Amino acid sequence: MDEIDNELELKDKNAYSENDIEVLEGLEAVRVRPGMYIGSTGAQGLHHLVYEIVDNSIDEAMAGRCSRIIVTINSDNSITVEDNGAGIPCGIHKTAGIPTVEVVHTILHAGGKFGGNGYAVSGGLHGVGASVVNALSTFLEVEVKRDGKIHYQRYERGKTVTPLLIKGDTEETGTTTHFKPDPEIFEETVFDYGTLLHRLREMAFLNKGVRIILRDNRGELESEEELYYEGGIVSYVEYLNNSFDSAEEGYDDDGKPLKKRVFSPAKPIYFCGEKEAGFAEVAMQYQSGYDEKVYSYANNINTREGGTHLVGFKNAITKVINAYARKYNFLKENDKNFTGEDVREGLTAVISVKLHNPQFEGQTKEKLGNSEIKPLVESIIIDKLTEHFEENPEDARVIIEKCAIAARAREQANKAREQTRRKGALESTSLPGKLADCSEKDPSLCEIYIVEGDSAGGSAKVGRNREIQAILPLWGKMLNVEKSRADKVFSNDKLLPVIQALGAGVGNDEFDVNKLRYHKIVIMADADVDGSHIRMLLMTFFFRYMRPLIENGYLYLAQPPLYKISKGKESVYAFDDKELDVKFAETGWNRNDKLVSIARFKGLGEMNPEELWATTMNPETRTFLRVTIENAESASKTFSELMGESVEPRREYIHANAKFVQNLDI
């Protein structure tokens, strides 16, 4: 058999010739390999189409030619982006021989960002934005107000279907793009309002003075939000920190006066500077929590993997704080310097640089590589932050004291981790006593259910598939890591079994996703308020201490049913009130029939092993929700709002979302 396989393989290699090389002309390459240009054909790629068009309008704003951008989700899930910029040039292109607006939309790597005087700073550098959106849409219409005329052209799946038309006269300028994603390309074509809102809000923060309006015209979902921030990235930091004045601090869950969420100073510190390498601005503020929220941007692009600008910021802030602490004797002669981790605990900061020729690593543009930006950011921070500390010694004192507390906590956390490790609790061979492990050793095939309570854990152990499904029961009150430092986490008897079972370490500096013993980590809690709280506590822990686990798509939420409907020996299950109505309609059963019983499960422990397997654990019939992170900033802000010390943001969240609550236990 091996000989036959090898022979076939050899023939295949020999068959490869010049006739197998295809040349894809125009935008065909984009349609054949869309992932190369927009990342994916899922939800992320779908929304990326909008960002590409909006980025062009933002580039107009950075060039000083645009002050308003309107993004509309139309009733048919098409998108309209309108700006009041200069408008795409419509004259005949000197080399292509067709209108320039047509060149922009039908030829890859054609744009005004490669050279010349059109754009000094730009986020769209590869000249693929408008043409890629055009290629991946069933249709795209562009209307340009320029040179006193309204120009119009239509394309379908990347091909021009009308000549450039003059629709009328105008004294205005600007570009309006209307497109609809192609269902032949995308797995889904329904836009998410929240996803678009987050990105557009981010763009408004990064470009102060630009007014961005998002409209949703889809039936009952119609809504509109205007995004305008004169404070720019200072407003962004305040937004991330949920800052509020001391007069409105309110009270905590126990009725005690609420601690200020913002630690020091009351308003974010802001620096900016410009040199030949480009322009850089930084806004920073400490808050009373422990998590670090530092976000970096280059030409409005979120550099999630950091880069030279972020390295420059981190180096400089650590250097300035240590130098000031030494100068004014906060650090004694024999004291160790604060580490970068110490000085960034509880820090919220936004670093935004704008430069002429940014060098990003890869088309995803998630890491900045320009070496000249590091010294630019460093010099600005060192000069301006040192000056701020000298002029505001109280700010410096409070910040340094917070760094000192963080340093002591770090040492305690290291001791707690080492003590736990010496006991063997963090070794890969150490497994928690209550873990019922599976027999399969390939992590990609293994699942672990983290189950609320011993009763439900017992049912799950009996009902599971022992080959691939492991069960870890948890009991007692779970630690809220949002309100706790790392030393508490490493020694917590409720979280330690989770760390042990997963076998990949804990903490951003130690967790190794490649060592995970299971590639499906399933939180299985009751379908009630207490169960929701447990799910949130565990998700907060995973987000803060094992984030790659979520980023790689390994975390799931089980969806146990809320109802069991029985008639005679036949039973069906419903996950919520809406599905309960659907099940009655599907079965044709009468809700008022005395032979219909409806049982509402109060907890997983009420299900026998067979029911738990059939409804929640059987891969053939179960429903899971995968936990994903669309954007780390939004997720971090949400966890801080819901699980942090401050009650005011939590109260605001509850008030805003109370109308969406279902299945509330009273």
Cα-based distances in Å from 212 to 38, 69, 228? 23, 5, 7
- 604 pLDDT exceeds 50? yes
Strand ranges for 597-657 from DSSP E: 597-600, 624-626
pLDDT at 661: 47
Computed from CA positions of residues 504, 510, 511, 515, in that sequence, does the dihedral angle turn out positive or negative? Answer: negative
pLDDT at 559: 87
pLDDT at 660: 44
Higher pLDDT, 76 or 38: 76
- 567 pLDDT exceeds 70? yes
Q: Which CATH architecture has domain 28-227?
A: 2-Layer Sandwich (3.30)
End-to-end CA distance of the chain: 67
pLDDT at 429: 57
Between helices 233-241 and 632-643, what is the axis angle to 10°?
40
The single-letter DSSP state of residue 615 is I
Q: 227-238: per-residue pLDDT in tens?
A: 999 999 999 999
pLDDT at 594: 62
With respect to CATH, is domain 233-418 assigned 3.10.20.600?
no
Higher pLDDT, 4 or 331: 331
pLDDT band at 19; cut points 50, 70, 90:
very low
For residue 602, give the nearest of 524, 531, 522, 523 by alpha carbon: 531
**How confident is the model over 401-416, as a mean pLDDT?**
87
For residue 649, give the nearest of 393, 222, 289, 213 by alpha carbon: 289
Round to whole Å and give the CA distance between 110 and 95.
Answer: 12
What tokens were used for 142?
């562009």
pLDDT band at 220; cut points 50, 70, 90:
confident
For residue 442, give every residue at least 6 positions away whose Cβ sits within 8 Å of its Cβ, in sequence order, or none: none
Q: 589-603: per-residue pLDDT in tens?
A: 877 676 577 878 767
pLDDT at 243: 55
CA atoms within 13 A on the CB side of 452: 26
pLDDT at 273: 93
Q: 85-94: per-residue pLDDT in tens?
A: 999 999 998 8
pLDDT at 244: 42
CA dihedral 656→531→542→457, nearest 10 degrees, is -170
- 613 pLDDT exceeds 70? yes
Query: What is the CA 417 to chain-centroid distance, rounded?
Result: 29
Q: Give me the percent of the chain exceeding a pLDDT of 70.
A: 81
For residue 30, give the nearest of 107, 95, 100 by alpha carbon: 107
pLDDT at 126: 38
**How confident is the model over 256-278, as a mean pLDDT?**
75
For residue 350, give the nearest of 229, 454, 432 by alpha carbon: 229
Count the neighbouring beta carbons within 10 Å of the beta carbon of residue 572. Answer: 18
DSSP string, 255-324: SPBPPPSEEEEEEEEEEEEEETTEEEEEEEEEESSS--EEEEEETTEE-TT-BHHHHHHHHHHHHHHHHH
- The highest-confidence range among 146-155, 521-530, 553-562, 632-641, by mean pLDDT, is 146-155
**How confident is the model over 147-154, as a mean pLDDT?**
96
- In three-state secondary structure terms, 440 is coil
pLDDT band at 144; cut points 50, 70, 90:
very high
- The highest-confidence range among 522-531, 625-634, 638-647, by mean pLDDT, is 522-531
Round to whole Å and give the CA distance between 150 and 175.
Answer: 10
Are residues 88 and 142 in contact, defined by beta-carbon separation less than 8 angstroms?
yes
pLDDT at 119: 46
> Picking from 401-405, 437-441, 582-586, 660-664, which range would have the lowest pLDDT averaged per residue?
660-664
> Picking from 495-499, 517-521, 578-582, which range would have the lowest pLDDT averaged per residue?
578-582
> Picking from 56-60, 260-264, 299-303, 331-335, which range would have the lowest pLDDT averaged per residue?
260-264
Q: Give me the percent of the chain exceeding a pLDDT of 90.
A: 47
- 182 pLDDT exceeds 80? yes
- 331 pLDDT exceeds 80? yes
CA atoms within 13 A on the CB side of 335: 14
Round to whole Å and give the CA distance between 339 and 315.
Answer: 10
pLDDT at 289: 78
Strand ranges for 505-569 from DSSP E: 520-524, 555-558, 563-567
Query: What is the CA 467 to chain-centroid distance, rounded?
Result: 34
For residue 208, give every residue at least 6 positions away whose Cβ sits within 8 Å of its Cβ, in sequence order, or none: 229, 230, 231, 232, 233, 235
Round to whole Å and give the CA distance between 640 and 657.
Answer: 16
Catalytic residue set:
452, 526, 528, 530
- 18 pLDDT exceeds 80? no
With respect to CATH, is domain 423-560 assigned 1.10.3720.10?
no
Helix (H) or strand (E) holding 612: helix 609-612
pLDDT at 114: 36
- In three-state secondary structure terms, 153 is strand
> Picking from 187-196, 304-313, 359-368, 393-402, which range would have the lowest pLDDT averaged per residue?
359-368
For residue 612, give the nearest of 440, 458, 450 by alpha carbon: 458
pLDDT at 640: 67
What tokens were used for 233?
């990235």
Domain ranges of the chain: 28-227, 233-418, 423-560
Q: 188-212: per-residue pLDDT in tens?
A: 999 999 899 999 999 999 999 899 9
- 393 pLDDT exceeds 80? yes
Mean pLDDT score of the chain: 83
For residue 301, give the nearest of 208, 222, 363, 252 by alpha carbon: 363
Are residues 354 and 279 in contact, defined by beta-carbon separation less than 8 angstroms?
yes
Q: 65-79: per-residue pLDDT in tens?
A: 999 999 999 999 999
- The highest-confidence range among 120-129, 284-293, 444-453, 581-590, by mean pLDDT, is 444-453
**How confident is the model over 654-664, as a mean pLDDT?**
48
- 665 pLDDT exceeds 60? no
Are residues 46 and 79 in contact, defined by beta-carbon separation less than 8 angstroms?
no
Between helices 373-391 and 393-422, what is the axis angle to 10°?
120
Are residues 615 and 560 in contact, defined by beta-carbon separation less than 8 angstroms?
yes
**How confident is the model over 143-152, as a mean pLDDT?**
96
Where do we find the tokens 């700010």? Answer: 395
Cα-based distances in Å from 598 to 23, 525, 646, 664? 63, 21, 41, 18
pLDDT band at 263; cut points 50, 70, 90:
low
Higher pLDDT, 664 or 189: 189
Round to whole Å and give the CA distance between 273 and 296.
Answer: 16
**Which residue(s) pair with 348 in the sheet?**
285, 293
